[in-house]
């Protein structure tokens, strides 16, 4: 391990909160949450999801940030090995960092493909493309996924966008960009909700759908889905939050900061639901339309609504910003790992890591068209990457970070990092990190294996 103290770091706690919330708020909130909630019956699912965030996601998030700030370096492998040595535990805990880095690499490659779609959808929305083809947005989406060169080009464009920001470093690249993108994202979202209230008249139905539970529609699978969504949306399990935490220089407690990040992420998911479902209901679309909800149902809805062209374009700008603030956190994690473990410069790490995940992403993009016959474990390449990372690797990594914070870090150092004193709050946190979060992970793994 090399300790490389850098002058780089967040300019303030707000910089960290914006970047961490930016990492958390992403396609998980805008693309995945609405359709998963839709498929699982709405409000009852939302309740379970909130419980998973509070009892499992949040403790893991706080664990990652605590390990990151306590560790002697910015990369997860180094942080875990240095802390375990200091605590007299096995340095093999570093493997959790390696698992996280590997997950981040594969996660980025599929995530970036979807992020690339949002770029071209801004254009489609402005041009009203869905209105101009006979099959509407369904055909537009099929046309996009069937067009191999376009899919690859969009993917690569997003790779370059992400790399360009991360190249600027933590403060001048990442923080500067999230300071613009996060407030813009919130404004657009609020604007879309106002539009839903004024133009569609379906706001009440959307609110009932999200907040009035019907437990009869819940299945055991919903529980695993809610847990999986909690991991996906909070960005935990890969070590990205650990890296962001390592750049937090000041010494104040991080429990509250972690709560703010989780609260912002949850608020954005619910607000996204309140923005999307009124539009969905206004045009008579089923809320359980699946992964195509925002790329098929919504564009169809936009062409039918007043001013839909502009509203649609703004919506996809929102998706671009949300996805970009997430991809930069994943790339930054890889960059710190490569810089500290292999001694590469920032430029070398950014360019080589980007080239690597871009290649896997190209395979994912081609699995929608020319390579659609390639099947591994009964899945196409894209689906395999999604399932492998979200259902297996992220949860395993998350359990690793929580177990480390709960069992290896001393009570004192944990209390100092969290800033919650030595009382019941600390005991409750340790109970969640030691036992509850790992059991949650076990449930997800079991559900994934039984499927
Ligand atoms: N949380 C992001 C989202 O909701 C995805 C993500 C996962 C980002 C893991 C970074 C790390 O879209």
Q: What is the pLDDT of residue 282?
A: 83
Q: Are 405 and 254 in contact (CB under 8 A)?
A: no
* Spacing, Cα 393 to ligand 1 middle (Å): 13
Q: What is the pLDDT of residue 2?
A: 41
Q: What is the pLDDT of residue 5?
A: 47
* Spacing, Cα 160 to ligand 1 middle (Å): 18
* Spacing, Cα 26 to ligand 1 middle (Å): 6
| Residue 309 CA: distances (Å) to CA of 93, 191, 305, 315, 316 | 51, 14, 8, 10, 11
CA–CA separation, 395 and 412 (whole Å) = 27
Mean model confidence pLDDT for the chain: 91
Of the pLDDT bands very low, low, confident and very high (cuts 50, 70, 90), residue 3 is very low
Q: What is the pLDDT of residue 250?
A: 79
How large a percentage of the chain has pLDDT more than 90? 67
Mean pLDDT, to the nearest integer, of 50-67? 95
Atom nearest to 234 CA in ligand 1: 1
* Spacing, Cα 263 to ligand 1 middle (Å): 15
Q: What is the pLDDT of residue 86?
A: 92
This prediction has a pTM of 0.94
Atom nearest to 31 CA in ligand 1: 12
Atom nearest to 326 CA in ligand 1: 8
DSSP conformation class of 26: S
Q: Residue 180 burial by CB count (10 A; 0-12/13-18/19+): exposed, middle or buried?
A: exposed
Residue to substitute in 49, 109, 111, 327 for testing ligand 1 pocket (most ligand atoms within 8 angstroms of CB): 111
Q: Are 394 and 107 in contact (CB under 8 A)?
A: yes
Helices 76-87, 58-70: crossing angle, 10 deg rounding: 80
Q: What is the pLDDT of residue 54?
A: 94
Atom nearest to 265 CA in ligand 1: 4
* 101 Cβ closer than 6 Å to some ligand 1 atom: no
Q: What is the pLDDT of residue 304?
A: 82
Mean pLDDT, to the nearest integer, of 276-301? 80
CA–CA separation, 60 and 433 (whole Å) = 7
Q: What is the pLDDT of residue 289?
A: 67
Of the pLDDT bands very low, low, confident and very high (cuts 50, 70, 90), residue 12 is very high
Mean pLDDT, to the nearest integer, of 199-211? 87
- 23-32, 137-146, 198-207, 219-228: the lowest-pLDDT one: 219-228
Calculate the dihedral angle through the C-alpha atoms of 216, 221, 226, 229, rounding to the nearest 10 degrees: -140
* Spacing, Cα 171 to ligand 1 middle (Å): 20
* 262 Cβ closer than 6 Å to some ligand 1 atom: no
Mean pLDDT, to the nearest integer, of 61-72? 94
Residue 178 has pLDDT above 80, yes or no: yes
Q: What is the pLDDT of residue 451?
A: 67
Residue 405 has pLDDT above 80, yes or no: yes
Q: What is the pLDDT of residue 6?
A: 56
* Spacing, Cα 31 to ligand 1 middle (Å): 12
Q: Is 375 helix (H, G, I), strand (E, B) or coil?
A: coil
**Helix (H) or strand (E) segment spanning residue 106:** helix 94-127
Higher pLDDT, 37 or 429: 429
* 238 Cβ closer than 6 Å to some ligand 1 atom: yes
Q: What is the pLDDT of residue 42?
A: 86
Q: What is the pLDDT of residue 123?
A: 94
Q: Give per-residue pLDDT as tens, 340-387.
A: 999 999 999 999 999 999 999 999 999 999 998 888 888 899 999 998
Q: Give per-residue pLDDT as tens, 73-124.
A: 999 999 999 999 999 999 999 999 999 999 999 999 999 999 999 999 999 9
* 23 Cβ closer than 6 Å to some ligand 1 atom: yes
Of the pLDDT bands very low, low, confident and very high (cuts 50, 70, 90), residue 1 is very low
CA-proximal residue: ligand 1, atom 9 (nearest): 235
* Spacing, Cα 305 to ligand 1 middle (Å): 31
Pick the closest to residue 175 from 258, 107, 263, 248 (CA basis). Answer: 248
CA–CA separation, 244 and 234 (whole Å) = 13
Q: Phi and psi (nearest 5°) for 379?
A: -135, 155
Q: What is the pLDDT of residue 300?
A: 82
Q: Are 427 and 406 in contact (CB under 8 A)?
A: no
Mean pLDDT, to the nearest integer, of 281-285? 80
Residue to substitute in 21, 22, 24 for testing ligand 1 pocket (most ligand atoms within 8 angstroms of CB): 24
| Residue 222 CA: distances (Å) to CA of 272, 337, 379 | 20, 35, 21
| Token reading at 186 | 């919130």
CA–CA separation, 295 and 114 (whole Å) = 10
* Spacing, Cα 316 to ligand 1 middle (Å): 17
* 329 Cβ closer than 6 Å to some ligand 1 atom: yes
Q: Give per-residue pLDDT as tens, 209-226.
A: 888 887 877 777 788 888
Atom nearest to 29 CA in ligand 1: 4
Mean pLDDT, to the nearest integer, of 398-418? 95
* Spacing, Cα 88 to ligand 1 middle (Å): 33
């Amino acid at each position: 391990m090399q300790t490389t103290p850098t002058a780089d770091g967040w300019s303030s706690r707000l910089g960290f909160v914006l970047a961490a919330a930016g990492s958390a708020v992403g396609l998980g909130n805008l693309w995945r949450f609405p359709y998963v909630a839709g498929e699982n019956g709405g409000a009852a699912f939302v309740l379970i999801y909130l419980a998973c965030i509070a009892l499992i996601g949040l403790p893991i998030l706080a664990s990652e940030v605590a390990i990151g700030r306590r560790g002697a370096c910015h990369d997860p492998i180094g942080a875990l090995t240095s802390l375990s040595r200091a605590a007299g535990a096995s340095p093999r805990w570093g493997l959790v960092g390696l698992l996280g880095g590997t997950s981040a690499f594969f996660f980025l490659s599929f995530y970036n493909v979807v992020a690339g779609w949002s770029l071209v959808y801004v254009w489609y929305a402005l041009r009203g493309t869905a209105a101009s083809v006979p099959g509407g947005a369904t055909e537009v989406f099929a046309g996009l996924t069937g067009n191999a060169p376009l899919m690859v080009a969009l993917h690569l464009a997003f790779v370059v966008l992400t790399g360009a920001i991360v190249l600027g470093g933590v403060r001048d690249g990442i923080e500067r960009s999230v300071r613009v993108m996060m407030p813009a994202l919130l404004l657009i979202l609020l604007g879309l909700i106002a539009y839903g209230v004024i133009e569609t008249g379906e706001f009440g139905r959307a609110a009932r759908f999200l907040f009035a539970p019907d437990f009869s529609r819940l299945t055991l699978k919903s529980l695993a889905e809610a847990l999986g969504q909690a991991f996906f949306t909070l960005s935990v399990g890969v070590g990205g939050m650990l890296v962001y935490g390592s750049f937090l220089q000041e010494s104040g407690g991080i429990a509250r900061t972690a709560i703010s990040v989780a609260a912002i992420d949850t608020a954005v998911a619910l607000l996204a639901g309140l923005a999307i479902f009124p539009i969905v209901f206004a045009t008579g679309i089923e809320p359980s339309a699946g992964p195509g909800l925002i790329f098929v149902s919504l564009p169809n809805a936009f062409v039918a609504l007043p001013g839909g062209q502009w509203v649609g374009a703004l919506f996809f700008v929102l998706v671009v910003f949300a996805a970009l603030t997430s991809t930069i956190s994943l790339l930054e994690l890889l960059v710190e790992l490569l810089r500290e473990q292999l001694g590469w410069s920032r430029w070398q790490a950014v360019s080589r890591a980007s080239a690597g995940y871009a290649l896997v992403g190209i395979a994912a993009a081609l699995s929608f068209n020319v390579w659609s016959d390639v099947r591994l474990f009964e899945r196409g390449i894209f689906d395999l990457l999604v399932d492998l990372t979200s259902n297996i690797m992220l949860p395993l990594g998350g359990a690793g970070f929580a177990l480390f914070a709960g069992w290896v870090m001393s009570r004192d150092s944990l209390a100092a990092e969290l800033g919650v004193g030595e009382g019941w709050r600390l005991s409750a946190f340790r109970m969640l990190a030691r036992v509850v979060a790992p059991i949650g992970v076990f449930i997800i793994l079991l559900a994934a294996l039984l499927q």
